[in-house]
């Protein structure tokens, strides 16, 4: 665990190697993340999402500069679309984050979405842990900008800022069915363009509509329930910015800090963290069970052979699945029987 020791000691190269190990799912990455976990929990994690072209990268750059002016250290994970050939990131959003180049207290890393429709790869949460353990005060995750499916960010970030460009028209309506529901702060970027005032008013009206379920007019959505929305007194804020000029960025940083303080004071941060870890455990269980079943399939032949047998009507998919998971079930039942006989085991 020398890599972990070096990271905890503030070695930037160790941090970079750790995130590379995590993203590549290289041998030993789980042990590394496990070692880091006890050193996490202090950083504020901010998600920045929105439609392509909304100015996310430019705003993240200016927000990072604002944090540095306040003597806060920053880690940025820019999630890029995946290459269909290598699976790696395509855009490299760091080219639009040049205002803090050379600042050793800013760490910017591009990561691939790995084809995830939700916008984040499964390695993102682990990379956040690495930055948190390293001691970053603020961790900003910039998502791909894939549209209304991009809701994974709410499972990783404490605060979510949704960027909306002026006069988005149908895009505003689309938000009702998607990422609009996850926003704690809404940012009308490029506010110097025509239609900005109208967009602000539309967002404010939609926020009031979203809050109607608290009075019984609408039922909470699955996303609201997942992020403890039904128990929150926080009313999402709408901020106007002109990221290219840095206008409104200080106000945005202030609102983000207010939300971070609210999460702590209300106890919502602890509740969300518990929900997040429950989801993370479930995700890891699914991945591990998938690997175990894949090994069982290889041990018994191949998936093509099973599919061929089903095609010949010699068996059926349910029977195949029952046979494949039988060894796992047997182990679980055997352990349950042992514990029933000897509870101390």
Q: Do 301 and 179 share a domain, yes or no?
A: no
Q: Do 62 and 210 share a domain, yes or no?
A: yes
Q: Do 236 and 303 share a domain, yes or no?
A: no
Is residue 2 in a domain? no
Q: Do 162 and 234 share a domain, yes or no?
A: yes
Q: Do 213 and 322 share a domain, yes or no?
A: no
Predicted confidence band at 114 (pLDDT cuts at 50, 70, 90)?
low
Overall average pLDDT of the 38-52 stretch: 92
Q: Do 235 and 286 share a domain, yes or no?
A: no
Overall average pLDDT of the 244-269 stretch: 96
> Domain with 251 in it: what CATH number?
3.40.50.300
Predicted confidence band at 95 (pLDDT cuts at 50, 70, 90)?
low
**Domain that includes residue 326, residue range:** 281-341
Is residue 3 in a domain? no
Predicted confidence band at 306 (pLDDT cuts at 50, 70, 90)?
very high
Is residue 33 in a domain? no
**How many structural domains comprise the chain?**
2
- The domain boundary, picked from 208, 233, 265, lies at 265
Q: Do 286 and 184 share a domain, yes or no?
A: no
Is residue 271 in a domain? no
Q: Do 73 and 219 share a domain, yes or no?
A: yes
Q: For the ranges 86-100, 104-118, 149-163, which has the lowest average pLDDT?
A: 86-100
Q: Do 46 and 123 share a domain, yes or no?
A: yes
3 state SS for the chain: CHHHHHHHCCCHHHHHHHHHHHHCCCCCHHHHHHHHHCCCCCCEEEEEEECCCCCHHHHHHHHHHHHHHCCCCEEEEEEECECCCCCCECCCHHHHCCCCCCCCCEEEEEEECCCCCCCCCCCHHHHHHHHHHHCCCEEEEECCCCCCCCCHHHHCCCEEEEECCCCCCHHHHHHCCCHHHHCCEEEECCCCCCCHHHHHHHHHHHHHHHHHHHHCCCCCCHHHHHCCHHHCCCCCEEEECECCCCECHHHHHHHHHHHHHHHHHHCHHHHHHHHHHHHHHHHHHHHHHHHHHHHHHHHHCCHHHHHHHHHCCCCCHHHHHHHHHHHHHHHHHHHHHHHHHCCCC
- The domain boundary, picked from 265, 295, 316, lies at 265
Q: Do 102 and 137 share a domain, yes or no?
A: yes
Q: Between 171 and 253, whose confidence is greater?
A: 253
> pLDDT tens digits, residue range 267-285?
999 999 998 899 889 988 9
Is residue 132 in a domain? yes
Q: Do 240 and 333 share a domain, yes or no?
A: no
């Amino acid at each position: 665990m020398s890599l972990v020791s070096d990271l905890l000691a503030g070695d930037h190269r160790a941090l970079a190697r750790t995130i590379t190990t995590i993203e590549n799912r290289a041998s030993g990455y789980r042990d590394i993340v496990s070692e880091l976990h006890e050193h996490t929990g202090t950083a504020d994690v901010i998600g920045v999402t929105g439609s392509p072209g909304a100015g996310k990268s430019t705003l993240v750059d200016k927000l990072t500069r604002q944090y540095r002016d306040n003597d806060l250290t920053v880690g940025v994970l820019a999630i890029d679309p995946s290459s269909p050939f290598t699976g790696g990131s395509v855009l490299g959003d760091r080219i639009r984050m040049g205002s803090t180049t050379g600042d050793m207290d800013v760490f910017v890393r591009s990561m691939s979405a790995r084809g995830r429709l939700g916008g984040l790869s499964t390695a993102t949460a682990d990379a956040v842990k690495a930055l948190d353990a390293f001691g970053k005060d603020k961790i900003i995750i910039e998502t791909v900008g894939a549209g209304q499916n991009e809701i994974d960010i709410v499972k990783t970030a404490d605060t979510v800022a949704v960027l909306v460009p002026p006069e988005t028209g149908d895009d505003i309506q689309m938000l009702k069915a998607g990422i609009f529901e996850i926003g704690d702060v809404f940012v009308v970027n490029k506010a110097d363009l025509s239609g900005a005032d109208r967009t602000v008013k539309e967002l404010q009206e939609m926020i009031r509509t979203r809050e109607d379920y608290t009075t019984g007019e609408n039922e909470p959505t699955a996303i609201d329930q997942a992020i403890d929305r039904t128990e929150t007194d926080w009313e999402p804020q709408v901020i106007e910015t002109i990221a290219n000029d840095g206008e409104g960025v200080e106000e945005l940083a202030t609102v983000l800090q207010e939300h971070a303080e609210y999460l702590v004071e209300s106890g919502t941060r602890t509740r969300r963290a518990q929900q997040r870890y429950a989801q993370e455990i479930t995700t890891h269980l699914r991945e591990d069970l998938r690997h175990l079943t894949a090994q069982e399939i290889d041990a018994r032949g191949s998936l093509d052979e099973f599919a061929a047998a089903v095609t010949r009507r010699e068996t059926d998919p349910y029977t195949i699945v029952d046979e494949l998971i039988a060894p796992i079930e047997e182990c679980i039942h055997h352990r349950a029987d042992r514990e029933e006989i000897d509870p101390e085991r």
